[in-house]
Amino acid sequence: MTTLLVIAKAPVPGRVKTRLTPPLTPEQAAAVAEAALADTLAAVLATPARRRVLVLAGAPGPWLPPGFEVRPQHGGGLDLRLAAAFAGCTGPTLLVGMDTPQITPDLLSVDWSAADAWFGPATDGGFWAIGMRRPDASVFPGVPMSVPETGAVQRARLLAAGLTVRDLSTLTDIDTADDLAAVTRDIPGTHCAGVARALLGDGVYA
pLDDT, residue 206, reads: 44
What's the rounded mean pLDDT across residues 68-81? 95
**With bands split at pLDDT 50, 70 and 90, how would you rate the model's confidence at 71?**
very high
Mean pLDDT of 22-26: 93
3-state secondary structure string across the chain = CCEEEEEEECCCCCCCCHHHCCCCCHHHHHHHHHHHHHHHHHHHHCCCCCEEEEEEECCCCCCCCCCCEEEECCCCCHHHHHHHHHHCCCCCEEEECCCCCCCCHHHHCCCCCCCCEEEEEECCCCEEEEEECCCCHHHCCCCCCCCCCHHHHHHHHHHHCCCCEEECCCECCCCCHHHHHHHHHHCCCCHHHHHHHHHHCHHHHC
- Kindly indicate the confidence band of residue 75, based on its pLDDT and cuts at 50, 70 and 90: confident
Residue 203: predicted pLDDT:
52
Confidence of residue 199 (pLDDT cuts 50, 70, 90): confident
Q: Please write the tens of the pLDDT for every residue from 130-160.
A: 999 999 999 999 999 999 999 999 999 999 9
- What is the model's pLDDT at position 202? 61
| 28-54 burial code (b ≥16 CB/10 A, e <16) | bbbbbbbbbbbbbbbbbeebebeebbb
Instruction: Average the pLDDT over 10-21 and give the result.
Output: 95
Those residues whose C-beta lies under 8 Å from the C-beta of residue 185, and which sit 6 or more positions away, are 204, 205
State the pairing for strand pair 3-9/93-96.
Answer: parallel
Taking the domains of the chain in order of start, what are their residue ranges? 3-200
| 205: pLDDT strictly greater than 50 | no
Of all residues in the chain, the percent with pLDDT exceeding 70 is 98
- For residue 88, pLDDT over 90 is answered with no
Which pLDDT value is given to residue 176?
Answer: 92
- Percent of the chain clearing pLDDT 90 (strictly above): 88
Q: Which CATH number fits domain 3-200: 1.10.150.120, 3.40.50.170, 1.10.730.10, 3.90.550.10?
A: 3.90.550.10
**Which one, of 160, 159, 148, lies nearest residue 122 by Cα?**
148
